[in-house]
Copies of this chain bind each other. A is one copy, B any other.
């Protein structure tokens, strides 16, 4: 949550390159839902289904899809190709991310060899290790722990109690929510006579630009080499990413999904919640995997929509489910066939 600032409809229309109808001088202070919006608030509609609701809305300004501007009579109407996207962009302007006064809080513990940009904020109780560097305008909130040799880019936000182990690299404009843990040892052991020995986990983790990671998500360091989260990828809460995974760009992964070691997820994949990946699976560009799916080790998931445990194309899954639904009928059919056959057998002369 954040404070809001006020902008005119003219400014907002310009911001999203939209056509404007109505009073461009109106002041907008907040975004809102169609049904709850009121004075000085802006709402959006992108689906004809909700046009009536939009017309009933008390919003001072509506964002509507191309071609629909004349169907609305709000005090101000902005017409754009993608109203939801325009709404998101306008929201970022009206409700900018929290600002902090640059500086290092007196209660933070920062190694002498660490390099903190003058425009960065380091909050209470933060701990930063040797040779780590924090670039410009990055915010490190209370209780964050950053190990040695960590590199964090510009304009990042690390929410409270994030932990970055030694040697991790974070790009620019990255948001890590509370409790995110990056760089813990991967889960690898060798069985000896007496029990398990730790297999070396001396690689690292690289988080590229524009990534956002939900609270308590854990991304393990590589055994050797690196675990990677590609540019623009978004991970939800409590996702597990094992050692040596390579997650591409603009991938979306919903909450509580677990990804075993050495999994590759190519660009633009969309993964539901509570999905489980066996190790060494590969998800190809453009694949969409439904929630709670399970992917066997080594599997290649091709483009398309996938579902179930183990995962299969959604069409096949539906076909199989239809077959299952017919089981009672099949059973009745078999009974009836038996009955008729017995009847026939009785009618036949004995040979």
Q: Which residues of A contact B (CB under 8 A)?
A: 1-2, 31-33, 36, 82, 84-85, 87-89, 91-92, 95, 98, 105, 107, 109, 123-125, 127, 141-143, 145, 149, 159-161, 163, 165-167, 175, 177-179, 181, 183-185, 187, 189-192, 194-200, 202-204, 210, 212, 214-216, 218, 220-221, 224-225, 231-232, 234, 236-238, 240, 242, 249-250, 252, 254-256, 258, 260, 273-274, 276, 278, 291-292, 294, 309, 319-320, 323-324, 326-328, 330-331, 333-334, 337-338, 340-341, 344-345, 347-348, 351
Contact = CB atoms under 8 A, between A and B. Distances in A.
Given A2-B202, A163-B161, A240 B255 contact: yes
Q: How many copies does the complex hold?
A: 3
Residue from A36, A127, A178, A260 whose CB has the most chain B CB atoms within 10 Å = A178
B159 A160 contact: no
Contacts of A214: 184, 187, 218, 220
Contacts of A320: 324, 327
A249 B191 CA distance: 13
A196 B210 CA distance: 9
Given A294-B292, A334-B337, A238 B218 contact: yes
A212 B198 contact: yes
A81 to B, nearest CB: 10
Given A224-B32, A292-B276, A338-B333, A1 B255 contact: no
Contact of A163 (B159, B195, B294, B309): B159
A215 B179 CA distance: 10
B109 A105 contact: yes
Contacts of A183: 1
A202 B91 contact: yes
A200 B91 contact: yes
B123 A124 contact: no
A344 to B, nearest CB: 6
